[in-house]
Amino acid sequence: MKESVKNTLDKYVEFIEKALKKYSLKSRLGLQSTVADAMDYSIEAGGKRIRPVLLMAFCQLFGGDINNAAAPAAAIEMIHTFSLIHDDLPCMDNDDFRRGKPSCHKQFGEACAVLAGDALAIRPFQIIANDEHLDNEKKVKLISELAFSSGAEGMIGGQIIDMENEKREKIDEANLSQMYSLKTGMLIKTSCVMGCISAGASEEQIKAAEEYASSLGLAFQIIDDILDVTADEKVLGKPVGSDAAENKTTFVTLFGIKEAKVEAKRLTEKALKILDEFDNNEFLKGLTEYLLVRDY
Amino acid sequence: MKESVKNTLDKYVEFIEKALKKYSLKSRLGLQSTVADAMDYSIEAGGKRIRPVLLMAFCQLFGGDINNAAAPAAAIEMIHTFSLIHDDLPCMDNDDFRRGKPSCHKQFGEACAVLAGDALAIRPFQIIANDEHLDNEKKVKLISELAFSSGAEGMIGGQIIDMENEKREKIDEANLSQMYSLKTGMLIKTSCVMGCISAGASEEQIKAAEEYASSLGLAFQIIDDILDVTADEKVLGKPVGSDAAENKTTFVTLFGIKEAKVEAKRLTEKALKILDEFDNNEFLKGLTEYLLVRDY
pLDDT of A239 higher than 90: no
Q: Is the dihedral of CA B92, B93, B95, B99 positive or negative?
A: negative
Q: Across the interface, which of B139, B148, B182 has its CB nearest the CB of A126?
A: B148
Delimit the domains of chain B by residue range: 3-292
Nearest Cα of chain B lies from the Cα of A245 at a distance, in angstroms, of 23
- In three-state secondary structure terms, A274 is helix
* B43 CB within 8 Å of a chain A CB: no
User: pLDDT tens digit string along B104-151?
Assistant: 999 999 999 999 999 999 999 999 999 999 999 999 999 999 999 999
The interface pTM score, or ipTM, of the predicted complex is: 0.94
Domain B3-292 -> CATH class: mainly alpha
- Contact (CB, 8 A) for A75 and A124: yes
User: pLDDT tens digit string along A14-62?
Assistant: 999 999 999 999 988 888 899 999 999 999 998 899 999 999 999 999 9
The answer to whether B157 contacts A117, with C-beta atoms less than 8 Å apart, is no
Q: Across the interface, which of B29, B118, B140 has its CB nearest the CB of A121?
A: B118
Nearest Cα of chain B lies from the Cα of A81 at a distance, in angstroms, of 13
- Amino acid letter, B53: V
Helix or strand holding residue A101 (H, E): strand A101-102
The answer to whether A32 contacts B160, with C-beta atoms less than 8 Å apart, is yes
Q: What is the pTM of this model?
A: 0.95
* B143 CB within 8 Å of a chain A CB: yes
Residues contacting residue B136 through CB under 8 Å, at least 6 positions apart: A136, A137, A139, A140
* Euclidean distance between CA atoms B173 and B165, whole angstroms: 12
User: pLDDT tens digit string along A82-129?
Assistant: 999 999 999 999 999 998 999 999 999 999 999 999 999 999 999 999
Q: In chain B, helix, strand, coil percent, each to 5?
A: 75, 0, 25
pLDDT of A236 higher than 70: no
H-assigned helices in chain A: 3-22, 33-44, 50-61, 70-88, 104-108, 110-129, 136-150, 155-165, 173-180, 186-199, 203-230, 233-236, 242-245, 251-255, 257-276, 282-292
* Euclidean distance between CA atoms B89 and B102, whole angstroms: 12
Of residues A4, A123, A15, A22, the one with CA closest to residue A59: A15
- In three-state secondary structure terms, A188 is helix
- Rounded to the nearest 5 degrees, what angle is found at the Cα of B80, between the Cα atoms of B182 and A181? 115
**Mean pLDDT, residues B12-40 taken together:** 94
The answer to whether B39 contacts A137, with C-beta atoms less than 8 Å apart, is no
Of residues A218, A150, A144, the one with CA closest to residue A181: A218
